[in-house]
């Protein structure tokens, strides 16, 4: 009688045990029978159906053992190759991956290693540049570089005269009268300087010692500061109107007058550096008289004289300044007729023209499809909400101006664009703090 050698070892049926089933081996059934000489073991081939069932229970051997013991034929690559996605899905996946890479590049560009925010003075310049773009007269290339340099001089002058304008209502109020007292005391200091220094150096030195002044002091300081930046054939001027009492500085690329390219630097006024053609006082309709002129050579000499004056007379100038301020007293003020409101540097005509263009609805003809057959007339007029959309649209356009002027970083560009659009929308009346409030000197 046949009897299995190990009943517990076989979950399939009694009478046989499971042999090792490695790839390439031939499954057999091992049976034992009892004979008089002892049990004998016979090996019989396993039936095909049972072989298929047991193949599901085959363990996965280690790779090394599989490689050393396998004697079967190489597997058919086609039988084990992964299923390929349809061509359409492959194209979509490739497109999606490409868009993800492009988006990562865009995000990296918007988040540079070094973030840079624009100062408010730079944002005001951006408002003017954006307004010129809206007016169809963009400022680019070398002209933009010159405009940026001129605006740096405007900001440097306001910082040097940080106590403010002595004859402007806002500055007098915010400085508690210090802008007036210092401006007048600075003029007293000027009369006490040695006579061997020219009037341009004397006016600039006394105003910077007092850190305040009227339009004349602001004009002379700006012209003096910009004189150190002149190239060959360029000129910096302290100029004034022949019809009204106002002075400012100008930068010319040549000695002749060219309102389209001459740059106005008016630190006393409200606004950034601008081209003379867009100015309220420096436009072609008004006569301008030159009070002070610098070229590259005379500018270098003026700065050498200033260094000598500061070295030899700085302490005495400060002493004379405080004596004059004490003599004037804390309640000294100018008469009402000598005090002015904040005066924009931009002409009213230019500001109004830009405002109208910025608030105008987009040209529908430019938005219409080129194929007229695709156009269908709506039953009712479509309301675009342009009065509400115009500020957002201008702010989006202003992001490019902010980047052009050096803003970097998502938050920094966004903040600068908002201010640029605000300035451009109302070049005369945009909100602006007084000069003392902007510079906030510690000893105010």
Q: What is the pLDDT of residue 385?
A: 57
- DSSP3 helix / strand / coil % (the chain, rounded to 5): 50, 10, 40
Last residue of a domain, one of 347, 373, 394: 347
- Domain shared by 201 and 293, yes or no: yes
Distances in Å between the alpha carbon of 282 and those of 129, 238, 248, 266?
18, 12, 9, 10
pTM: 0.71
Residue 101 in any domain: the answer is no
Shared domain for 54 and 157, answered yes or no, is: no
Residues 232, 331: one domain? Answer: yes
Q: 276 and 160, same structural domain?
A: yes
* 14 in any annotated domain: yes
**DSSP state, 340?**
B
Residue 175: predicted pLDDT: 96
**Is residue 415 a part of any domain in this protein?**
no
Q: Domain residues for 21?
A: 2-62
- Distance between CA atoms of 424 and 126, rounded to whole angstroms? 8
Q: Based on the domain organization, do 149 and 15 belong to the same domain?
A: no
Q: Which residues are CB-contacts of 131 (< 8 A; sequence separation ≥ 6)? A: 350, 351, 354, 423, 424, 427
Instruction: Number of helices (H) and strands (E) in the chain: give both, helices first.
Output: 16, 8
360's enclosing H/E stretch is none
Are residues 209 and 306 both part of a single domain?
yes
Q: Are 181 and 332 in contact (CB under 8 A)?
A: yes
Specify if 18 maps to a domain.
yes
> Is 184 domain-assigned?
yes
Of 321, 347, 373, the residue that ends a domain is 347
Q: Are 29 and 46 in contact (CB under 8 A)?
A: yes
Query: Are 178 and 315 in a shared domain?
Result: yes
Block residue for tokens 């904040």: 342
Residue 168: partners with Cβ closer than 8 Å, 6 or more residues away: 179, 268, 339, 340, 341, 342, 434, 435
pLDDT values of the chain reduced to their tens digit, one per residue, 444 residues: 444 444 444 444 454 454 554 455 555 555 455 545 555 555 555 555 555 555 555 555 554 444 444 445 555 555 555 566 565 556 666 777 777 887 777 776 666 567 899 999 999 999 999 999 999 999 999 999 999 999 999 999 999 999 999 999 999 999 999 999 999 999 999 999 999 999 999 999 999 999 999 999 999 999 999 999 999 999 999 999 988 999 999 999 998 889 999 999 999 999 999 999 999 998 665 688 999 999 999 999 999 999 999 999 999 999 999 999 999 999 999 999 999 999 999 999 999 999 999 887 766 565 555 666 655 655 555 555 556 667 788 889 999 999 999 999 999 999 999 999 999 999 999 999 999 998 755 554
**Are 24 and 163 in a shared domain?**
no
Residue 133 lies in a domain: no
Distance CA 380, CA 377 (A): 9
pLDDT score of 8: 43
Same-domain check for residues 198 and 289: yes
Q: What is the pLDDT of residue 80?
A: 55
Q: How many domains does the chain contain in total?
A: 2
pLDDT of 411 reads: 94
One domain, residues 163 and 295: yes
Q: Is residue 201 part of a domain?
A: yes
Query: What is the pLDDT, as a whole number, of residue 287?
Result: 80
End position of a domain, from candidates 330, 347, 364: 347
Residues 22, 171 share a domain: no
Same structural domain for residues 33 and 178?
A: no
Residue 119 belongs to some domain of the structure: no
- pLDDT given for residue 12 in this prediction: 45
């Amino acid at each position: 009688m046949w009897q299995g050698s190990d009943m517990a070892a076989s979950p399939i049926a009694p009478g046989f045990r499971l042999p090792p089933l490695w790839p390439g081996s031939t499954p057999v059934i091992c049976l034992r029978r009892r004979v008089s000489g002892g049990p004998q073991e016979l090996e019989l081939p396993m039936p095909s159906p049972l072989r298929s069932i047991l193949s599901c229970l085959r363990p996965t051997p280690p790779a090394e053992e599989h490689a050393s013991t396998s004697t079967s034929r190489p597997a058919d690559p086609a039988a084990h190759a992964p299923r390929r996605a349809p061509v359409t899905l492959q194209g979509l996946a490739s497109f999606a991956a490409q868009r993800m890479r492009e988006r990562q590049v865009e995000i990296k560009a918007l988040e540079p290693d070094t973030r840079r925010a624009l100062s408010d003075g730079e944002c005001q310049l951006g408002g003017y540049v954006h307004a010129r773009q809206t007016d169809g007269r963009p400022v680019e290339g070398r002209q933009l570089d010159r405009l940026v340099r001129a605006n740096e001089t405007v900001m440097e002058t306001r910082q040097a005269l940080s106590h403010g304008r002595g004859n402007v209502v806002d500055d007098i109020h915010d400085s508690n009268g210090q802008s007036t007292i210092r401006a007048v005391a600075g003029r007293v200091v000027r009369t006490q300087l040695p006579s061997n220094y020219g009037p341009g150096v004397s006016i600039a030195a006394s105003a910077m010692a007092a850190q305040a002044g009227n339009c004349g002091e602001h004009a002379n300081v700006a012209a003096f500061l910009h004189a150190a930046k002149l190239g060959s054939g360029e000129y910096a001027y302290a100029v004034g109107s022949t019809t009204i009492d106002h002075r400012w500085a100008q930068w010319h690329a040549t000695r002749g007058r060219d309102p389209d390219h001459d740059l106005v630097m008016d630190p006393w006024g409200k606004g950034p550096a601008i081209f003379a053609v867009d100015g309220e006082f420096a436009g072609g309709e008004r006569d301008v008289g030159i009070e002070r002129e610098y070229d590259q050579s005379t500018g270098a000499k003026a700065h050498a004289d200033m260094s000598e004056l500061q070295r030899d007379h700085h302490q005495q100038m400060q002493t004379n300044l405080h004596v004059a301020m004490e003599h004037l007293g804390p309640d000294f003020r100018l008469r009402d007729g000598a005090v002015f409101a904040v005066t924009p540097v931009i002409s009213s005509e230019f500001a109004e023209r830009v405002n109208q263009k910025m608030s105008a609805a987009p040209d529908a003809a430019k938005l219409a499809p080129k194929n007229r057959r695709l156009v269908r007339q709506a039953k009712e007029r479509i309301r675009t909400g342009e009065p509400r959309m115009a500020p957002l649209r201008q702010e989006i356009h202003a992001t490019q101006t902010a980047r052009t002027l050096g803003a970097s970083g998502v938050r920094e560009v966004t903040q600068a664009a908002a201010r640029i659009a605000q300035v451009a929308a109302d070049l005369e009346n945009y909100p602006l703090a007084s000069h003392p409030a902007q510079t906030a000197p510690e000893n105010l």
